[in-house]
Amino acid sequence: QVQLQESGPGLVKPSETLPLTCTVSGGSISPYYWTWIRQSAGGGLEWIGRIYASGNTNYNPSLKSRVTMSVDSSKNQFSLRLTSVTAADTAVYFCARIGRLDYDVPLFDYWGQGTLVTVSS
Partner 1 sequence: QSALTQPRSVSGSPGQSVTISCTGTSGDVGSYNYVSWYQHRPGKAPKLMIYDVIKRPSGVPDRFSGSKSGNTASLTISGLQAEDEADYYCCSYAGTYTFVVFGGGTKLTVL
Interface residues with partner 1 (CB under 8 A) are 4, 37, 42-47, 50, 58, 60-61, 94, 96, 99, 103-114
Q: Which string of DSSP letters, residue by residue, matches the chain?
A: --EEEEE--SEE-TTS-EEEEEEEESS-STT-EEEEEEE-TT--EEEEEEEETTS-EEE-TTTGGGEEEEEEGGGTEEEEEE-S--GGG-EEEEEEEE--SSS-S--EEEE---EEEEE--
User: Please, what is the minimum distance in Å from the beta carbon of residue 121 to partner 1?
Assistant: 27
**Between 13 and 87, whose beta carbon lies closer to partner 1?**
87
Question: Is 22 or 119 the residue whose CB approaches partner 1 more closely?
Answer: 22
Cβ 98 to partner 1, closest distance in Å? 9
